[in-house]
Chains A and B, each alone.
Chain A
Amino acid sequence: MIEKIQGGLGMNTKLLFYILKRLALAALTVWVVITLSFFIMRAVPGGPFLGEKAVSETVIKQLEAKYGLDKPLLTQYFTYLKDIVTRFDFGPSLKQRGRDVVDIIKDGMRTSIKLGLIAASIALVSGIVLGAAAALRRNKLIDKIIMVITTAFVSMPSFIMGSLLLVFFAIKLGIFPANGSTTAGLVLPVITLALYPMAYITRLVRSSMLDVLGQDYIRTARAKGVSGKNIIFGHALKNALIPVITYCGPMLAGIVTGSLVVEKIFAVPGIGRAFVNSITGRDYPLIMGTTIVLSVLIVIMNLVSDILYKIVDPRITLE
């Protein structure tokens, strides 16, 4: 009797191949972002110094010479690319004289990463708990309450959520400071950032839990005599959480983009605020630098969550 064995030895090689393929795509994506941002910025009519007040022709010429903007476009492009790849250098900021873009980003990153990671953990933990609770109490009152609230949260843009929290908790009630430069001031930004992904994960876990509970292998487990509690925490939850892994990448990306406005609303000294200020202030090197760094972050997070998904779920066939 010969029964076919699928997977087997080839599994790890396949996984490696998949990871390499995804790495290549990630690198390509980052390159596209760099190239895109470079040429888009250079396409601005009048060049990056148009916004400067009362600048004479000669001064512009001097500035262009200083920043290497008088060279041919392609030369500029390759210099820019080389500086990023070899020295992680995005050049100097135009508006914050004497500071390099990299330093501004580094400063902002410290706060932003703290903010993002706390928000992500809160969203994950509470989303999973609420989602599982809703699924297990399906169609009961608690399920309905959870669903109504999460539906409302999913329909509210983060800037509105943030502003409303600011109005109620900082201005009306005065519980938390409105300024996010202190630790206590980070409470409201964290909540703002966590609410949307939390609501999303709750809904995701609920529907995936319900799906898993209807699967044949749960019936098998019941037929074996496994108790209800062990079925939920042993058999069901592990399978139900697999979709959450795929959401982790987009969630962190969402937190990154959400932090742009949230940091603006609460005046958090993070990279998001630097980015928003660079847009309003037309600080082109800073716009490019922050875009590229944030893009790299998002691409890496998507990459990690996709690869993790393939590793955790043994069923996935790798192409």
Chain B
Amino acid sequence: MPLLEIKDLHTYFYTDAGKVKAVNGVSFSLERGKVLGIVGESGSGKSVTAYSIMQILEGNGEIVSGSIKLDGQELVGAGEEVMKKVRGNRISMIFQDPMTSLNPTYTIGKQLMEAIMLHTNRSKKEAYDRAVEMLRLVNVNEPLKRMKQYPFELSGGMRQRVMIAMALACEPDILIADEPTTALDVTIQAQILELMKSLQEELGMVIILITHDLGVVAQMCDEVIVMYAGSICEQGTVDEIFYNPCHEYTKGLLRSIPTTSDVEKLMPIPGTPIDLLNMPKGCPFAPRCENAMKICIKQPAETIKINDNHTAACWMNVKKGIDEGKIVFDNDMEGGDLQ
């Protein structure tokens, strides 16, 4: 049984301007011991997917349909009491901006101990010791002094370490990291990623790393999900995604990474992300896709299995199959399959 299994998740936000389909039919499953990267532009639904797993959506957001199973236990509709025991205990989360993610009027110690005492039966003294231990684990210097300090007295990198310590204090099965390094300096970014990698190896939890930085994905992850406009375009192992991209959007993303070795021109993806309020009926990426075909505009592409480690939702794969004669159409209106 996979540790986490998500099926056909739909999360919508109800705004004054209309219904925003932020997550639109996302499915994936995750085995123990893996690091999963979710990549995509702002507004692609990667963070909302994470918030849906934790069920900490803003007031106007709602999981409309789908299933989220943790160790076989259904979480959608399980109720607040169940979720309270899941959050911070079995699934933890760290956020993008460490500057604003800690309560400014509580000391570091109080915030760490709160997390520990919520989910364990430790006494105040034991929680204190555990908090200090966690600070040591995430390489915060002078942990005893930090316990008494307020967040504003710490630097950004230090605060993100505190966030990690807080998230891991109850030894969760899953750590969701929502762009954990985006707001940090480059040197600090590397340190934090290194820390997460080593803690993952040490403690054996699953990490879901949400990022828009493909470099981070290559460095950290075993598997990758590429999202666009609330749906998964492509999913596979890191090697498959990086060396055999099968979705025009992924190809575009890879082309837009600046490299030092290549003399190739840097190729940004033209256009802007789709307006989630006005979703087209075809493939959402089609308006920006340089290889868009007539069918892309009419119909969304279905997810096709490229190989055992790789799926993608792009009409180009179908075209390729037809061109290569791998897809044959029957008369009873059945489509063929690739391979």
A149 within 8 A of B: no
Asked whether, in the complex, the Cβ of A223 is within 8 Å of the Cβ of B88, the reply is yes
Per-residue interface assignment for chain B, residues 73 to 115, with 1 indicating a CB less than 8 Å from any chain A CB and 0 otherwise: 0000000100111111100110101001111111000000011
With the chains together, A220 CA to B89 CA distance in Å? 13
Cβ–Cβ < 8 Å partners of B102 in chain A: 217, 220
With the chains together, A227 CA to B89 CA distance in Å? 13
Determine the residue in chain B with the shortest Cβ distance to A228.
Answer: B80
A72 within 8 A of B: no
With the chains together, A226 CA to B103 CA distance in Å? 13
A148 within 8 A of B: no
Per-residue interface assignment for chain A, residues 215 to 244, with 1 indicating a CB less than 8 Å from any chain B CB and 0 otherwise: 111011111111110000001001100100
Cβ–Cβ < 8 Å partners of B242 in chain A: none
- Closest Cβ of chain B: how far from A187's Cβ, in Å? 37
B68 within 8 A of A: no
A5 within 8 A of B: yes
A45 within 8 A of B: no
Cβ–Cβ < 8 Å partners of A52 in chain B: none
Cβ–Cβ < 8 Å partners of A224 in chain B: 87-88, 92, 114-115, 118, 166
B123 within 8 A of A: no
Known A314-B150, A315-B104: A225·B191 in contact at CB below 8 Å? no
Asked whether, in the complex, the Cβ of B93 is within 8 Å of the Cβ of A223, the reply is yes
With the chains together, A242 CA to B150 CA distance in Å? 16
- Closest Cβ of chain A: how far from B336's Cβ, in Å? 45
With the chains together, A238 CA to B105 CA distance in Å? 8
Cβ–Cβ < 8 Å partners of A239 in chain B: 103-105
Q: How many of A's residues come within 8 Å of B, CB to CB?
A: 30
Cβ–Cβ < 8 Å partners of A227 in chain B: 80, 84
Choose from A217, A228, A238, A312 the contact partner of B101 (Cβ within 8 Å): A217
- Closest Cβ of chain B: how far from A238's Cβ, in Å? 5
- Closest Cβ of chain A: how far from B15's Cβ, in Å? 13
Per-residue interface assignment for chain B, residues 60 to 79, with 1 indicating a CB less than 8 Å from any chain A CB and 0 otherwise: 00000000000000000000
Asked whether, in the complex, the Cβ of A5 is within 8 Å of the Cβ of B153, the reply is yes
Per-residue interface assignment for chain B, residues 145 to 183, with 1 indicating a CB less than 8 Å from any chain A CB and 0 otherwise: 000001011110110000100110000000000000000
Q: How many of B's residues come within 8 Å of A, CB to CB?
A: 40
With the chains together, A227 CA to B114 CA distance in Å? 12
Per-residue interface assignment for chain B, residues 217 to 230, with 1 indicating a CB less than 8 Å from any chain A CB and 0 otherwise: 00000000000000
Known A225-B87, A313-B105, A315-B104: A219·B95 in contact at CB below 8 Å? yes
Q: Once A and B bind, how many residue pairs between them come within 8 Å at the CB atom?
A: 94
Asked whether, in the complex, the Cβ of B56 is within 8 Å of the Cβ of A4, the reply is no
With the chains together, A313 CA to B95 CA distance in Å? 23
With the chains together, A227 CA to B155 CA distance in Å? 29
A57 within 8 A of B: no
Cβ–Cβ < 8 Å partners of A226 in chain B: 88, 114, 118
Per-residue interface assignment for chain A, residues 231 to 261, with 1 indicating a CB less than 8 Å from any chain B CB and 0 otherwise: 0000100110010000000000000000000
Determine the residue in chain B with the shortest Cβ distance to A139.
Answer: B59
B4 within 8 A of A: no
Known A1-B191, A3-B155, A220-B163: A225·B101 in contact at CB below 8 Å? no
Asked whether, in the complex, the Cβ of A225 is within 8 Å of the Cβ of B119, the reply is yes
A6 within 8 A of B: yes
Asked whether, in the complex, the Cβ of B157 is within 8 Å of the Cβ of A3, the reply is yes
Asked whether, in the complex, the Cβ of A3 is within 8 Å of the Cβ of B158, the reply is yes
Choose from A6, A221, A312 the contact partner of B152 (Cβ within 8 Å): A6
Asked whether, in the complex, the Cβ of A314 is within 8 Å of the Cβ of B152, the reply is yes
Asked whether, in the complex, the Cβ of B105 is within 8 Å of the Cβ of A221, the reply is no
B54 within 8 A of A: yes
- Closest Cβ of chain A: how far from B173's Cβ, in Å? 14
CB within 8 Å of A: which of B236-272?
A: none
A residues bordering B, Cβ < 8 Å? 1, 3-8, 138, 214-217, 219-228, 235, 238-239, 242, 312-315
Nearest 5 CB-CB pairings of A with B: A225-B88, A224-B88, A225-B87, A216-B100, A223-B93
In the complex, besides A216-B97, A222-B54, 16 extra interface pairs with C-beta distance below 8 angstroms are: A3-B155, A5-B153, A216-B100, A217-B100, A219-B56, A220-B103, A221-B103, A223-B88, A223-B92, A223-B95, A224-B88, A224-B118, A228-B80, A312-B105, A315-B104, A315-B105
